[in-house]
């Protein structure tokens, strides 16, 4: 199938899933950026009336995510598709196939590792040929970890003349709540894992998204217990999103050709204060992470969570979002003892306020910046690196070495 050159397409960006909770926030973010970016953009989804009801005054494109022909048609019309139609394992595959075929850049905010693996296996080579940059995980998972590690390594090299051998991401103070789509996506992943032992095995692999997940890699087991971080003097506990973020950072390093060395290790945990109270918090978090994992593997408990939690289209209120904030500290270390602490943070709730900025800026970056990365199923740092970092800093995120 021949693809139209990206410059002759109707739009720079189409936001697909604009009627959803996160999609509305992303569309609103692009609305505020569009005039200064001279952006030609449109919103898309399966329900024209619902899209028109958003009152954004931009063109509307209608298509069902499960209709491959409609997704091809949509992808041909734009340079970039920015999608929030999750759970992606249920609604995402046709659009990725269409973008890979038509040479259309693509970004989403999925954290569904098993689905990303399927997309890599099915479309990486095709996207390399057509030049489509397919970029998963452009939300809170996993831009802070992925782009933060890239930026921390850049600062480390500038300071010490060589890269760090180990980076530990510590997610500390944060406040935010779940939306219905996020809960549905987590439940979908656990439902697939409970039903299929190969998916369970994949999710447990530290290098699940690497070109060769079972290749020869440095040991990097997932954290299972309380620990202590000596540079920050903080307790640590397992972090629920580490099973996504660590895989993305490791894929980034592999795709970039292992610039930080074959023995480079990335770990990720939660941090709590280095006090008795902090130790109790770390113990509580560790227990909660295991209890949640246990509950999510049982159909009855999953159903209860699904019934009691937020429903599709629902999420934290504007007031709750306004109170949100988060901080990631990256401790970069080299074998000879050099160390650097790099902070990534934002004064917005992680999953929605910050995520709308991150995904919106990723879409703008793919559409507007002269990127040099090749096509393929990339990570945010591999596809966009410096230009995305500059954009996110201008959007208010902090990326800083101390």
Ligand X SMILES: NC(=O)c1ccc[n+]([C@@H]2O[C@H](COP(=O)([O-])OP(=O)(O)OC[C@H]3O[C@@H](n4cnc5c(N)ncnc54)[C@H](OP(=O)(O)O)[C@@H]3O)[C@@H](O)[C@H]2O)c1
Stretch that binds ligand X, among 113-121, 160-168, 180-188, 223-231 (CB under 6 A): 180-188
The string of DSSP letters for 41-93 reads EEEEES-HHHHHTT---S-EEE--TT-HHHHHHHHHTEEEEEE---SHHHHTH
Q: 235 by DSSP, 3-state: which?
A: strand
Burial class (CB in 10 A: 0-12, 13-18, 19+), 158: exposed
Residue 133 touches ligand X, criterion: CB under 6 A: no
Q: Would you say 125 and 303 are in contact if contact means Cβ atoms under 8 Å apart?
A: no
Minimum distance between the CB of residue 395 and ligand X, rounded to whole angstroms?
15
Residue 115 touches ligand X, criterion: CB under 6 A: no
Q: Would you say 224 and 216 are in contact if contact means Cβ atoms under 8 Å apart?
A: no
**Rounded Cα gap, residues 175 and 314, in angstroms:** 18
Residue 375 touches ligand X, criterion: CB under 6 A: no
φ, ψ of residue 373 to 5 degrees: the values are -70, 150
Residue 21 touches ligand X, criterion: CB under 6 A: yes
Number of residues that bind ligand X (CB under 6 A): 35
Residue 148 touches ligand X, criterion: CB under 6 A: no
Whichever of 179 and 379 has its CB closer to ligand X, that residue is 179
Among 65, 135, 254, 392, the residue binding ligand X under the rule CB under 6 A is: 65
Stretch that binds ligand X, among 173-181, 268-276, 341-349, 381-389 (CB under 6 A): 173-181
Tokens at 117, concatenated: 């693996």
Distances (CA, A) of 314 to 177, 186, 266, 299: 11, 15, 34, 23
Stretch that binds ligand X, among 17-25, 156-164, 293-301, 337-345 (CB under 6 A): 17-25
Q: Would you say 364 and 391 are in contact if contact means Cβ atoms under 8 Å apart?
A: yes
**Rounded Cα gap, residues 186 and 299, in angstroms:** 13
Q: Would you say 305 and 185 are in contact if contact means Cβ atoms under 8 Å apart?
A: no
Q: Would you say 297 and 197 are in contact if contact means Cβ atoms under 8 Å apart?
A: no
Tokens at 95, concatenated: 């659009």
How many other CB atoms are found less than 10 A from the CB of residue 58? 19
Stretch that binds ligand X, among 16-24, 123-131, 334-342, 383-391 (CB under 6 A): 16-24
Minimum distance between the CB of residue 112 and ligand X, rounded to whole angstroms?
7
Residue 149 touches ligand X, criterion: CB under 6 A: no
Whichever of 116 and 155 has its CB closer to ligand X, that residue is 116
φ, ψ of residue 82 to 5 degrees: the values are -120, 115
Whichever of 144 and 375 has its CB closer to ligand X, that residue is 144
Whichever of 23 and 375 has its CB closer to ligand X, that residue is 23
**Rounded Cα gap, residues 171 and 238, in angstroms:** 10
Minimum distance between the CB of residue 23 and ligand X, rounded to whole angstroms?
5
Minimum distance between the CB of residue 254 and ligand X, rounded to whole angstroms?
21
Stretch that binds ligand X, among 13-21, 123-131, 331-339, 374-382 (CB under 6 A): 13-21
Q: Would you say 218 and 269 are in contact if contact means Cβ atoms under 8 Å apart?
A: no
Q: 243 by DSSP, 3-state: which?
A: helix
Whichever of 77 and 166 has its CB closer to ligand X, that residue is 77
The Cα angle at residue 106 between residues 90 and 312, in degrees rounded to 5: 35
Q: 95 by DSSP, 3-state: which?
A: helix
Among 4, 32, 47, 317, the residue binding ligand X under the rule CB under 6 A is: 47
Among 12, 17, 203, 379, the residue binding ligand X under the rule CB under 6 A is: 17
Among 12, 141, 192, 223, the residue binding ligand X under the rule CB under 6 A is: 141
Contacts (CB under 6 A) with ligand X, residues 307-336 = 312-313, 315
Among 42, 43, 81, 86, the residue binding ligand X under the rule CB under 6 A is: 86
Among 11, 29, 41, 88, the residue binding ligand X under the rule CB under 6 A is: 88
**Rounded Cα gap, residues 30 and 15, in angstroms:** 9
- Whose tokens are 């075929």? That residue is 101
Among 40, 50, 154, 177, the residue binding ligand X under the rule CB under 6 A is: 50
Minimum distance between the CB of residue 93 and ligand X, rounded to whole angstroms?
11
Whichever of 60 and 332 has its CB closer to ligand X, that residue is 60
Among 78, 84, 286, 368, the residue binding ligand X under the rule CB under 6 A is: 84
| Contacts to ligand X by CB under 6 A | 17, 19-23, 45-47, 50, 64-66, 84-88, 91, 109-111, 139-141, 179-182, 185, 312-313, 315, 351, 355
């Amino acid at each position: 199938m021949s693809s139209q050159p990206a410059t002759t397409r109707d739009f720079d960006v189409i936001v697909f899933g604009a009627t959803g909770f996160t999609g509305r926030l992303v569309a609103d973010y692009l609305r505020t950026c569009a005039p200064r970016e001279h952006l030609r953009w449109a919103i898309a989804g399966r329900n024209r009336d619902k899209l028109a009801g958003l009152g954004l005054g931009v063109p509307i494109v209608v298509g069902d995510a499960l209709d491959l022909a409609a997704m091809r048609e949509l992808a041909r019309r734009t340079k970039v598709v920015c999608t929030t139609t999750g759970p992606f394992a249920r609604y995402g595959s046709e659009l990725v196939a269409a973008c890979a075929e038509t040479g259309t850049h693509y970004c989403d905010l999925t954290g569904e590792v098993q689905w990303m693996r399927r997309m890599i296996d099915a479309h990486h080579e095709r996207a390399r040929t057509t030049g489509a940059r397919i970029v998963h995980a452009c939300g809170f998972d996993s831009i802070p970890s992925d782009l933060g590690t890239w930026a921390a390594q850049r600062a480390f090299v500038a300071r010490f003349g060589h890269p760090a051998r180990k980076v530990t991401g510590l997610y500390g103070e944060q406040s935010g709540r779940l939306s219905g789509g996020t809960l549905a996506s987590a439940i979908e992943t656990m439902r697939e894992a409970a039903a299929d032992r190969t998916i369970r095995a994949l999710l447990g692999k530290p290098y699940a998204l690497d070109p060769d997940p079972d290749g020869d890699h440095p040991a990097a087991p997932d954290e299972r217990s309380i620990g202590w971080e000596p540079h920050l003097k903080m307790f640590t506990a397992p972090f629920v999103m580490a099973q996504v973020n660590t895989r993305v950072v490791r894929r980034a390093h592999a795709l970039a050709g292992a610039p930080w060395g074959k023995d480079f290790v990335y770990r990720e945990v939660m941090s709590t204060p280095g006090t008795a109270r902090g130790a109790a918090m770390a113990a509580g978090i560790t227990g909660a992470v295991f209890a949640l994992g246990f509950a999510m593997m049982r159909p009855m408990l999953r159903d209860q969570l699904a019934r009691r939690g937020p429903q599709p289209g629902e999420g934290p209120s504007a007031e709750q979002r306004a109170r949100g904030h988060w901080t990631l500290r990256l401790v970069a270390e080299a074998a000879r003892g050099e160390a650097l602490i790099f902070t990534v943070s934002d004064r917005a709730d992680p999953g929605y306020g910050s995520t709308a900025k991150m995904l919106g800026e990723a879409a703008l970056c793919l559409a507007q910046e002269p990127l040099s990365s090749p096509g393929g199923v990339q990570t945010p740092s591999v596809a966009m690196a410096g230009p995305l970092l500059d954009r996110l800093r201008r959007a208010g995120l902090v990326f800083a070495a101390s």
